[in-house]
Amino acid sequence: MIRATGLRKLYGDARARRAALDGVDFSVEPGDFVAVLGPSGSGKSTLLAILGGLDRDYEGRLEIFGSELRGLGDAALARLRGARIGFIFQAFHLLSHLSVIDNVLAPSLFAEGAGDLRLRALALLDRVGLVDRRDDPPTELSGGQRQRVSIARALLRKPDLVLCDEPTGNLDAETGERIVDLFRELHVEEKLTLVAVTHEERLARAATRTVRLRAGKIDGGEA
Ligand SMILES: Nc1ncnc2c1ncn2[C@@H]1O[C@H](COP(=O)(O)OP(=O)(O)OP(=O)(O)O)[C@@H](O)[C@H]1O
Ligand SMILES: [Mg+2]
């Protein structure tokens, strides 16, 4: 599903180059639930952005769904991202002038053949415990509630792959537990493939595999 070889990402200018990723080999097979662990600044968000095609300024090879990412044009990449990949960002990226339900629907406004999205959006909001807040703007929600809206949004079009950056980072223990349960259910019942960056034990325990990053390299191979 994803095959990355020798990924390198450099930040900074010619005088002060720093490698955020420095020779990372990483693959994801369908049905995997991979937890990406590692200290702050180790390259976790950088890796996720590259895997999802959000950052194409990297060195190395990256195949997603069988295509070399660099070979895809903007339109093809956008289509692939919209239909097959869901993102849950570290900062939620919700639109403050739209209601909760419209935030869930917004990225799919022009989606084709995706069935009754509004019904699915309501079902997902129910699942994350926010259906009664559907008409509120996200500015009236807590951090954890915003995170749950972004989870519903990521799942709307039944992606094959969900990339999440600290999906439980803003949640209290109980809400975090519910989200972990939701991921586990989606993984087991809907065969969703997940890659989740996390600092949290309970999310890492739910994963089928963990990968540790340290200073831009995979630490000690995959476990
Ligand atoms: N836009 C940027 N410009 C310059 N350097 C950056 C940029 N984004 C990240 N970096 C650097 O790349 C390295 C990896 O950052 P990254 O955000 O991937 O870390 P992370 O593992 O996600 O950390 P955290 O757990 O704090 O979210 C860091 O040294 C960071 O300073
Ligand atoms: Mg990060």
Protein residue closest via CA to atom 27 of ligand 1: 40
pLDDT computed for residue 213 by the predictor: 95
Residue 223 confidence class, pLDDT cut points 50, 70, 90: very low
CB burial of 112-123 (b: ≥16 within 10 Å; e: otherwise) equals: eeeeeeeebbbe
> Which of these, 140, 161, 144, lies nearest to 64 by C-alpha position?
161
Pocket of ligand 1 (CB under 6 A): 11, 20, 38, 40-46
Distances (CA, A) of 97 to 61, 100, 103: 39, 10, 9
Which residue lies with its CA nearest to atom 14 of ligand 1? 43
Contact 134, 85 (CB under 8 A): no
Q: What is the pLDDT of residues 119-133, one digit of tens each?
A: 999 999 998 899 999
Mutate to test the pocket of ligand 1, among 9, 10, 11, 195 (most ligand atoms within 8 A of CB): 11
pLDDT in tens, 75-124: 988 888 888 999 988 777 899 999 999 999 988 777 665 568 899 999 99
Task: For 66-113, list the strands marked E by DSSP.
Answer: 67-68, 85-88
Positive or negative: CA dihedral 35, 52, 19, 23: positive
All domains of the chain in start order, with CATH? 29-56+71-218 (3.40.50.300)
CA of 194 from ligand 1 middle (Å) equals 21
Rounded Cα distance, 150 and 10, in Å: 29
pLDDT score of 166 more than 50: yes
Nearest atom, ligand 1, residue 48 CA: 18
pLDDT of residue 51: 94
| Closest protein CA for atom 7 of ligand 1 | 11
Cα 218 from Cα 8, distance rounded (Å): 12
DSSP state of 7: E
Give residue-wise pLDDT tens across range 28-79. Answer: 999 999 999 999 999 999 999 999 998 999 999 999 998 898 888 889 888 8
Nearest residue by C-alpha to atom 4 in ligand 1:
11
Q: Does the pLDDT at position 22 exceed 90?
A: yes
Q: pTM for this one?
A: 0.89
Pairing label, strands 209-214, 217-218: antiparallel
**Predicted local distance difference test score (pLDDT) of residue 177:** 86
pLDDT of residue 200: 83
* H or E segment to which residue 44 belongs: helix 44-51
- Ligand 2 centroid to residue 105 C-alpha, Å: 25
Name the closest-CA residue to atom 2, ligand 1: 11
Around Cβ 74, how many Cβ atoms within 10 Å? 8
Specify whether the CB–CB gap between 164 and 180 falls below 8 A: no
For range 202-211, the mean pLDDT? 91
